[in-house]
């Protein structure tokens, strides 16, 4: 679960990448119209730009999820959750309680 600030930063970065790709596409289309590039060259260049933007995003965008350190932090986090997120947390709590009741040790990976 990402904090609201982390979501905004991630979406801003993704938006910047999308805008850059769109502007690049427009520039390529203009060059094609002016005859400075062939249509085929423009298509190839556009595909390369899309690939490069995707690679840059993968390489430079890191999402870090932290767990609340104490009960009060958990309470604060729960208070700000959407109904869907709250439903997921309740399901996870029920699953963990069932595993403990069965004598299993709940796994933390993939929470």
pLDDT of residue 63: 67
Q: Where are the domains of the chain?
A: 4-60, 71-101
pLDDT of residue 66: 66
Residue of higher predicted confidence among 48 and 67: 48
Separation in Å, CA 1 to CA 65, 73, 76, 78, 98: 6, 14, 13, 11, 23
Per-residue pLDDT reduced to its tens digit, 29-49: 777 777 776 777 777 877 887
Whether the CA torsion 37, 41, 43, 46 is positive or negative: it is negative
Q: Calculate mean pLDDT across residues 6-29.
A: 74
Q: Calculate mean pLDDT across residues 78-102.
A: 89
Count CB neighbours of 42 within 10 A: 19
pLDDT of residue 30: 78
The token duo for 102 is 């069965």
What is the C-alpha to C-alpha distance for residues 106 and 7, in angstroms, rounded to an integer? 28
């Amino acid at each position: 679960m990402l904090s609201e600030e982390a979501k905004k930063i991630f979406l801003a970065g993704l938006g910047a990448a999308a805008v850059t790709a769109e502007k690049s596409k427009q520039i390529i289309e203009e060059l094609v119209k002016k005859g400075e590039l062939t249509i085929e060259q423009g298509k190839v260049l556009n595909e390369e730009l899309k690939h490069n933007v995707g690679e840059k995003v993968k390489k430079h965008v890191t999402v870090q999820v932290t767990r609340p350190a104490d009960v009060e932090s958990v309470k604060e986090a729960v208070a700000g959750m959407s109904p869907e997120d709250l439903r997921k947390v309740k399901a996870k709590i029920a699953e963990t309680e069932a595993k403990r009741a069965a004598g299993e040790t709940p796994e933390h990976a993939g929470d």
